[in-house]
């Protein structure tokens, strides 16, 4: 009881797990299972809200979505089946109503020969909903539920201390608070000095010693550990989203300090890239350093869109940089073009975009279409440089396109057509008919003031 009463003090981030291979919840299994139950052990009503669940046989992911499965879920958000049942196995997530002890169960008609489970949390600050997660399994249809993970248990605390002891190279006394703090600092030092590799740190366990739930300001050591984890996720797994790890950095200064810590860490390991935190995530700031490569790819993409009579024009952040800064925006991480469709509706647009994707694929590019948007990323085959192309379609002198926070809405067509010409890096590109009018419609009256934190993915208290 003494240990359980001290858990929040000893391990302030208890129950933390994230959304990437680096820090998701990995649970080893004794043998094949036939059922899984996920629930929250909470004293007040809470929401069970997870992104995904995978079965693994060693390193191999077992696709069980086509198996004969039955699901039981305590409730679903707005009674919508999109937030329930098999959606968790499809990595589309589940979302119950706020209630006491919400749960999700899956029962299989045959044994699943999995050696481990992997549970993925949300990618934002609401990941904290899952801190009291309990995972249970059945090894036979008539067996009882066996707990294989309890995020708030004394066992979880001991496992975290074992991971800390391994990372710092010595046994850490669980009852000595000063020794615990010294051990966290030692992990940071050993990492910087190359005595321990990124991949040898159990990041999910180590970050439980950081207040990942945002209840207190982080120490410099804690902030640098978070920076190291974010950097490792990017270089190892190319993870873009950082909001599930960094949302506790609540001020612009704190985010800038985090960005600086990541940059210094990268330099320490010989990485010369200029890393920038953007609303999209952590990205190497290369638009300016590789401007010629991007401009060459922009010209190629525009040429092909023009061949298709699609009237390509600069848009969004790229247009903003060209008009306001006469350059790529220093903290931007992508290139944006607009092009016109013949479609008259979103359904028609969806079909037409597929033909454009196939056109670029046929001409040697690597197009990627993003789920849930009309955006397509066109990647150059040899350089890996990417350009995002966004469509618009017209109805009754209204152009419909992605605007703030990717919302599809209409703007007056006169803002876009007839297109104009803009000089950018001594090259000519198509531009909206009224560039400043379009930027005002997209970014508001402050568009002419540079703001790295525009539409930031989590709330900053000094915004």
3-state secondary structure 267-305: HHCCCCCCEEEECCEEEECCCCCCHHHHHHHHHHHHHHH
pLDDT for 58 beyond 60: yes
Reported as a pLDDT band with limits 50, 70 and 90, residue 5 is low
Number of folded domains in the chain?
A: 3
Domain assignment of residue 177, yes or no: no
Same domain, 130 and 223: no
Q: What residues contact 142, with CB distance under 8 A and at least 6 apart?
A: none
> Which of 3-12, 232-241, 337-346, 448-457 is predicted least confidently?
3-12
Residue that finishes a domain, picked among 261, 284, 307: 284
Maximum Cα–Cα distance across the chain: 74
Same domain, 433 and 367: yes
pLDDT in the model for residue 124: 87
Same domain, 393 and 306: yes
Q: CA angle, 260 as apex, 187 and 11 as ends, to 5°?
A: 35
* Cα 435 to Cα 315: distance, rounded to the nearest angstrom: 9
Domain assignment of residue 346, yes or no: yes
The sign of the torsion formed by the CA atoms of 210, 212, 217, 223 equals positive
Same domain, 298 and 408: yes
Domain assignment of residue 92, yes or no: yes
Domain assignment of residue 100, yes or no: yes
**Do the Cβ atoms of 422 and 435 come closer than 8 Å?**
yes
Same domain, 142 and 227: no
SS3 (DSSP) at 438? helix
pLDDT in the model for residue 357: 97
Domain assignment of residue 237, yes or no: yes
296-302 contact pairs (CB < 8 A, 24+): 296/385, 297/335, 297/378, 297/380, 297/383, 297/385, 297/386, 297/387, 298/335, 298/337, 298/387, 298/429, 299/427, 300/380, 301/337, 301/365, 301/378, 301/387, 301/389, 302/337, 302/429, 302/430
* Cα 209 to Cα 128: distance, rounded to the nearest angstrom: 15
**Do the Cβ atoms of 102 and 94 come closer than 8 Å?**
no
- Dump pLDDT digits (tens) for 240-274: 788 888 888 989 999 999 999 999 999 999 998 88
Same domain, 273 and 377: no
Enclosing domain of residue 32: 2-155
**Do the Cβ atoms of 426 and 375 come closer than 8 Å?**
no
pLDDT in the model for residue 382: 87
Reported as a pLDDT band with limits 50, 70 and 90, residue 163 is very high
Domain assignment of residue 323, yes or no: yes
pLDDT in the model for residue 1: 39
Same domain, 302 and 379: yes
pLDDT for 379 beyond 90: yes
The sign of the torsion formed by the CA atoms of 447, 451, 452, 455 equals negative
pLDDT for 463 beyond 70: no
pLDDT in the model for residue 443: 94
Tokens of 387: 């350009």
Residue that finishes a domain, picked among 137, 155, 173: 155
* Cα 360 to Cα 370: distance, rounded to the nearest angstrom: 15
pLDDT in the model for residue 173: 86
Same domain, 341 and 367: yes
Distances from the Cα of 200 to the Cα of 120, 166, 190, 233, angstroms = 20, 9, 11, 13
Reported as a pLDDT band with limits 50, 70 and 90, residue 405 is confident
Residue in 108, 116, 156, 112 with CA at minimum distance from that of residue 133 = 156
Cis peptide before 418, with omega less than 30 degrees from 0? yes
Same domain, 14 and 142: yes
The sign of the torsion formed by the CA atoms of 311, 312, 315, 321 equals negative
pLDDT in the model for residue 7: 72
Same domain, 234 and 271: yes
The residue assigned the tokens 């949300």 is 122
Same domain, 302 and 416: yes
pLDDT for 224 beyond 60: yes
The structure's pTM equals: 0.82
Domain assignment of residue 169, yes or no: no
Query: CATH no. for residue 387?
Result: 3.30.460.40
Reported as a pLDDT band with limits 50, 70 and 90, residue 285 is confident
Residue that finishes a domain, picked among 284, 299, 316: 284
Same domain, 272 and 235: yes
Q: Which residues of 251-285 are buried (b: 16+ CB within 10 A; e: fewer)?
A: ebebbebbbebbbebbeeeeeeebbbbbbebbbbb
pLDDT for 2 beyond 60: no
Average pLDDT of the residues of the chain: 92
* Cα 426 to Cα 335: distance, rounded to the nearest angstrom: 17
- Dump pLDDT digits (tens) for 23-52: 999 999 999 999 999 999 988 999 999 999
pLDDT for 4 beyond 60: no
Residue in 30, 66, 55, 59 with CA at minimum distance from that of residue 112 = 55
Strand blocks (E) in 88-205: 94-95, 103-112, 116-120, 133-138, 146-150
* Cα 226 to Cα 248: distance, rounded to the nearest angstrom: 10
Question: Region 82-102: what's the mean pLDDT?
Answer: 91
Query: If residue 374 lies in a helix (H) or strand (E), which one and from where to where?
Result: none
| Sequential DSSP letters for 50-101 | ESEEEEEETTEEE--TTS-EEEEES--GGG-GGGSGGGGTTTS-EE--SBSS
Domain assignment of residue 449, yes or no: no
pLDDT for 131 beyond 70: yes
- What's the per-residue H, E or C state across 223-274? HHHHHHHHHHHHHHHCCCCCHHHHCCCCCHHHHHHHHHHHHHHHHHCCCCCC
């Amino acid at each position: 009881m003494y240990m359980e009463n001290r858990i929040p003090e000893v391990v302030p981030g208890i129950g933390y797990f994230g959304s990437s291979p680096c820090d998701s919840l990995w649970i080893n299994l004794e043998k094949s299972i036939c059922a899984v139950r996920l629930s929250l052990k909470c004293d007040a009503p809470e929401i069970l809200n997870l992104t995904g669940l995978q079965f693994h046989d060693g390193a191999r992911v077992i696709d069980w979505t086509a198996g004969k499965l039955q699901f039981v879920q305590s409730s679903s958000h707005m009674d919508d089946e999109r937030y329930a049942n098999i959606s968790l196995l499809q990595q589309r997530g589940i979302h119950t109503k706020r209630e006491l002890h919400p749960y999700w169960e899956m029962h299989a008609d045959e044994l699943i020969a999995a050696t481990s489970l992997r549970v993925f949390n949300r990618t934002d600050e609401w990941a904290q909903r899952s801190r009291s997660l309990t995972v249970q399994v059945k090894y036979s249809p008539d067996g009882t539920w066996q707990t294989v993970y309890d995020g708030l248990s004394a066992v979880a605390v001991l496992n975290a201390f074992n991971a800390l002891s391994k990372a710092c190279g010595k046994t850490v006394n669980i009852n000595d608070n000063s020794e615990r703090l010294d051990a966290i600092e030692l992990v940071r030092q050993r990492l910087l000095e190359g005595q321990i590799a990124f991949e040898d740190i159990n990041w999910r366990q180590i970050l439980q010693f950081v207040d990942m739930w945002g209840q207190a300001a982080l120490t410099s050591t804690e902030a640098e550990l978070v920076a190291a984890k974010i950097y490792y996720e990017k270089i190892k797994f190319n993870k873009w989203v950082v909001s599930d790890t960094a949302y506790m950095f609540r001020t612009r200064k704190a985010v800038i300090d985090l960005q600086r810590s990541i940059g210094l860490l990268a330099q320490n390991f010989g990485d010369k890239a200029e890393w920038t935190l953007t609303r999209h995530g952590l990205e190497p700031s290369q638009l300016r350093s590789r401007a010629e490569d991007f401009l060459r790819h922009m010209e190629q993409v525009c040429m092909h869109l023009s061949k298709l009579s699609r009237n390509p024009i600069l848009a969004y952040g790229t247009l903003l940089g060209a008009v306001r800064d006469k350059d790529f925006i220093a903290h931007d991480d992508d290139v944006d073009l607009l092009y016109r469709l013949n479609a008259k509706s979103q359904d028609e647009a969806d079909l037409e975009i597929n033909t454009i994707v196939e056109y670029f694929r046929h001409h040697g590019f690597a197009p990627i279409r993003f789920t849930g948007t009309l955006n397509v990323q066109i990647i150059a085959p040899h350089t890996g440089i990417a350009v995002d192309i966004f469509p618009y379609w017209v109805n009754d002198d209204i152009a419909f396109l992605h605007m703030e926070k990717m919302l599809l809405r209409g703007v007056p067509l006169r803002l876009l057509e007839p297109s104009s010409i803009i000089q950018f890096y001594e090259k000519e590109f198509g531009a909206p008919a009224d560039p400043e009018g379009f930027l005002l419609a997209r970014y508001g009256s402050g568009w002419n003031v540079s703001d790295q934190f525009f539409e930031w993915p989590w709330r900053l208290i000094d915004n």
